[in-house]
Amino acid sequence: MPVLSLNDLVAIGLCVLALLALGMNLLVHRKHPYLGLRKTSAVRSSEILSQAAAEQGKRLTIGLGLDVADSVTAMASLPMLAALTRRSIFTDQPVHATSGGGTLASLSQSVVRGTYQGAVAPELFKPDYALLAGLSPYAYLAGLLPQAASRANAGIMLYGPHRPESLLAADLAERKRNPVIALTSDLSAQAVLLASSAQLSFGEDYFDGGASLQVNPSAAASLRAQDLLRIVITIGLIAGAVLRLLGVWQ
């Protein structure tokens, strides 16, 4: 058994606390998992945009960002993709997704295909609904730009690990008078997209998709656990700063 440092012990403690908070919230809120849950403004806007796209006979394009190999946070966008695809299966123009990496493209293809099978309409599925846009960040951007400029769009959603250059896609969509919703895990991209008119969500709101769209009770439990852990960490940080100021902890 290796000797664990204080940092390791804090990390293990936080993991245990996270697991306990997740389990406790799943149990306590099992009957009404979404009751009293806050909704992220960008996710709320995506619901409205999805309905507007169906009414206009246009489609919603989702840029899923770079690959899962670059950032595991790319996984967070897939439940949202499934939820929005489910709502658009029987509309004139279903949701189109583009990815910036092989693994993410295959996963999104699998998710979209699964959603069509789940809705007992596998014959309506086309592989074009979830495509690879490029294997490198710039190739992805080059693939995303024509999608963002498409006349068939009712709006675009950038949900995933995007780089600051994605502002080009947001700007292009704005020029076509299409609304843009952005949820990205990249801090520089969040700052840059603030300068656009995109409906933007910051920080950990990125992980709220599944809970806000009410597609997975575990996502709601996770959101509540996140809030609880944030309070614990804040108290820990303030206590640490006070102890250090008082000279108790060096």
Partner 1 sequence: MKKAIPILIAVLSGLLVLAALIWQPQLEGWLEVMLNWAVIIASMAALVALATLLLAHTRKIIKVRHGFIYSLILVVAFLVSFAGGMTAGVENPNYLHWIAAIQQPAEASLLGLAALVMAAASLRLFHQRGWSALTVSFGISALVFLMLGLGWLQALQIPQLDIVIGYLEALPLVGMRGLLIGMGLGALLLGFRIVLGLERPYGE
By the rule CB under 8 A, 75 interacts with partner 1? yes
Of 15, 235, 242, 243, which one interacts with partner 1 (CB under 8 A)? 15
Of 99, 153, 178, 201, which one interacts with partner 1 (CB under 8 A)? 99
Closest to 213 in 3D by CA, of 34, 25, 26? 34
Residue 4 Cβ, how far from partner 1 at the closest point, in Å?
Answer: 8
Of 41, 93, 106, 214, which one interacts with partner 1 (CB under 8 A)? 106
DSSP string, 149-214: H-TTEEEEEEEES--GGGHHHHHHHHHTT--EEEEES-HHHHHHHHTSS-EEE-GGGGGGHHHHTT
Residue 248 Cβ, how far from partner 1 at the closest point, in Å?
Answer: 23
Of 92, 204, 241, 244, which one interacts with partner 1 (CB under 8 A)? 204
**What amino acid occupies position 250?**
Q
Strand ranges of the sheet holding 59-66, from the earlier edge strand across to the other edge: 130-132, 96-100, 59-66, 153-160, 180-184, 199-201
According to CB under 8 A, which residues from 107 to 166 bind partner 1?
107, 109-111, 113-115, 117-118, 127-128, 131-132, 135, 138, 141-142, 146, 164-165
In this structure, the number of other CB atoms found within 10 A of the CB of residue 162 comes to 31
Tell me phi and psi for residue 176, to 5 degrees: -85, 10
Residue 193 Cβ, how far from partner 1 at the closest point, in Å?
Answer: 9
Kindly state the DSSP code that residue 124 receives in the 8-state scheme: G
CA 193, chain centre distance (Å):
15
Task: Return the half-sphere exposure (C-beta side, CA atoms, 13 A cut-off) of residue 189.
Answer: 27
Of 72, 121, 124, 239, which one interacts with partner 1 (CB under 8 A)? 72
Residues making contact with partner 1 (CB under 8 A): 1-2, 4, 12, 14-15, 18-19, 22, 26, 69, 72-73, 75-76, 78-79, 82, 99, 101-103, 105-107, 109-111, 113-115, 117-118, 127-128, 131-132, 135, 138, 141-142, 146, 164-165, 167-168, 171, 185, 187, 190, 192, 194-197, 202-204, 206-207, 210, 216, 218-219, 222, 225-226, 229-230, 233
